[in-house]
Amino acid sequence: MLRVYNTLTRKKENFETIEPGLVKMYVCGPTVYSDAHVGHAMSALVFDIVRRYLEYRGYKVKHVMNFTDVDDKIIARANQMGVDPFALANGYIHDFEEHLSDLNIMPATANPQATRTMDKIQAMIQGLIGKGYAYPAANGDVYFRVTRDDDYGKLSARKLDDMQAGARIEVGELKEHPMDFALWKAAKPGEPAWDSPWGQGRPGWHIECSAMNLHELGEQIDIHGGGNDLIFPHHENEIAQSESFTGKPFARYWMHNGMLQLGGEKMSKSLGNLITITEFLEKRDGDVMRMIVLNGNYRSPLAFTDEALDAAERGLERIKSALRHSSGQGLQPAAPSAKNAPADVLSALAAQTETTQQTFTDSMDDDFNTSGALAGIFDLVRQVNTARDAGATAGQLAPAQATLRELTGVLGLRLAEKTGSSDADKFIALLVEVRGEVRKQKLWPLSDLIRDRLKELGVTIEDSKDGTAWRWS
């Protein structure tokens, strides 16, 4: 039984979908006004892993991730750069989609944008006004009336009274209550604007997600996700809007990922302590980013340090070591020495394969416990390597390796071996062959020179009893 931690109840709950076999999942995407950073990547990775596991468990997943493509910051940035705000936003959307692909994140089934959902947004605002949950202000803004919503604050576990006490919000005559928030913002001169019953303007931030949910997934959804910095006010307001509009419970499970920490603080655009995804991928493989996420708990803060990244990288190497054998990609085989492994080694391998499979499912079923799942995977890695060392043939290793491939695949790891050009491969093979002859003559300084120089060129050589294997590294 899959169990999921629900922010709304602060408990792990049994996972039951509204429609059998189908999961409707909405994840808040970025506001596209600047380069995305690795914190955005973390969020996307977390929910990619959730999705992959749900699909592995046999669910069909409708996965929607939006782009907020009109808001104050986009407009400000575009004005500052002297470009069209829509062009700016679309450029960043394009970049983001490329990043997702680089990180092996599956494309969502739909990527709605605020600017393309305008009629739905307006219809929803109209509906809310009609039901008394919202009111137009004198200046053309439309606000949500929080006092009308009995359980406002339930997601973030705070009460209206408490918030008011600490609020530093100008009360302004426009709002009835300081916590009332904008559904529609009247346009100022020079701002992009749409016609509406309340005059020229654009949607507030929260309403777009409610409208997109309704349009893409319906009145009720299974999973609503995003970073935990969105719990308040964004998701709180979404619930308020959606439930006031439909009169039905909105999302069954609210899932929130923890924040990436850089230097002990949350990585964010406003603090400026960020590493962009582009910068990251210049130095490390996308698998490394995924691995560091998998190693931790998705709900906890994640310390983003070079040390942790190095550890993730080494761990990946270890998993790859178990996947290699005579036919591995990029690995030139040593002569297979397989003489059949002892029976007890093979039965241990078969047993571990089954255990790992079980551990994987048990762990992932427990609120996507990826580090527990990884532990099981590493146990199998060890057993595969042990069996190989004991002389197992490729055929004997194959089932265990297939399981490794499958499970790491569910986690979204690519585990690709590096490759060079096939032209280069031929010359390297020749060089390795020559070095083999040199070694037969025990000309160690020369053979070591070849090994060292190849290493510098990104080719790793490993000698064994059966010959020499090499691969790009």
Partner RNA sequence: GGCGUCGUGGCCAAGUGGUAAGGCAAGGGUCUGCAAAACCCUCAUCACGGGUUCGAAUCCCGUCGACGCCUCCA
Binding to RNA in span 14-53, by CB under 7 A: 28-31, 39-40, 42-43
Q: How far is the CB of 460 from RNA (least distance, A)?
A: 6
Whichever of 12 and 60 has its CB closer to RNA, that residue is: 12
Write out the binding residues for RNA, residues 306-335 only, by CB under 7 A.
307-308, 310-312, 314-315, 317-318, 321-322
> Measured between alpha carbons, how far is 375 from 358 in angstroms, rounded to an integer?
12
Residue 4 binds RNA (CB under 7 A): no
Cβ proximity to RNA, 306 vs 423, nearer residue: 306
CB closer to RNA, 118 vs 277: 277
Minimum separation from the CB atom of position 260 to RNA (A): 4
Judged by CB under 7 A, the number of residues near RNA is 92
Candidates 137, 214, 267, 407; binder of RNA (CB under 7 A) is: 267
**Spatial CB neighbours of 122, under 8 Å, sequence gap ≥ 6:** 184, 194, 196, 197
- 284 lies in the binding site for RNA (CB under 7 A): no
Q: Residue 60, interface with RNA (CB under 7 A)? A: no
Identify the residue among 109, 276, 332, 386 touching RNA (CB under 7 A). 386
| Contact between 339 and RNA per CB under 7 A | no
Residue 360 CB, shortest distance to RNA, in Å, is 12
232 near RNA (CB under 7 A): yes
Query: Which span (83-91, 109-117, 263-271, 396-404) binds RNA, by CB under 7 A?
Result: 263-271
* Residues 409-468 interacting with RNA (rule: CB under 7 A): 439, 444, 447-448, 451, 460-465
Of 68-76, 116-124, 141-149, 418-426: span binding RNA (CB under 7 A): 68-76
Distances (CA, A) of 215 to 85, 120, 431: 25, 7, 61
Beta carbons of 412 and 105 less than 8 angstroms apart:
yes
Of 317, 396, 320, 408, nearest to 356 by C-alpha is 408
**378 near RNA (CB under 7 A):** yes
Which of 229, 365, 417, 425 touches RNA by CB under 7 A?
A: 229
| Residues in 164-193 that interact with RNA by CB under 7 A | 165-169, 181
Shortest spacing between CB 247 and RNA, in angstroms: 26
- The reply on whether position 355 binds RNA by CB under 7 A is no
Q: Considering beta carbons, is residue 24 or 206 the nearer one to RNA?
A: 206
| Sole binder of RNA in the list 269, 336, 355, 409 (CB under 7 A) | 269
Q: Tell me: does residue 394 bind RNA (CB under 7 A).
A: no
Select the span of 67-75, 102-110, 195-203, 245-253 touching RNA (CB under 7 A): 67-75
- Is residue 268 at the binding interface for RNA, with CB under 7 A as the rule? yes
- Are 106 and 52 within 8 A, CB to CB? yes
Q: How far is the CB of 21 from RNA (least distance, A)?
A: 26
10 or 339, CB closer to RNA? 10
Binding residues among 243-262 for RNA as defined by CB under 7 A: 257, 259-261
Positions in 95-154 near RNA (CB under 7 A): none
Q: What residues form DSSP beta bridges with 50? A: none
Which listed residue (140, 192, 199, 301) binds RNA by CB under 7 A? Answer: 301
The count of other CB atoms within 10 Å of the CB of residue 226 is 24
CB 385 to RNA: min, Å: 3
Pick out residues in 356-375 that bind RNA (CB under 7 A): 363, 366-367, 369, 371-372, 374-375
* Residue 89 binding RNA, by CB under 7 A: no
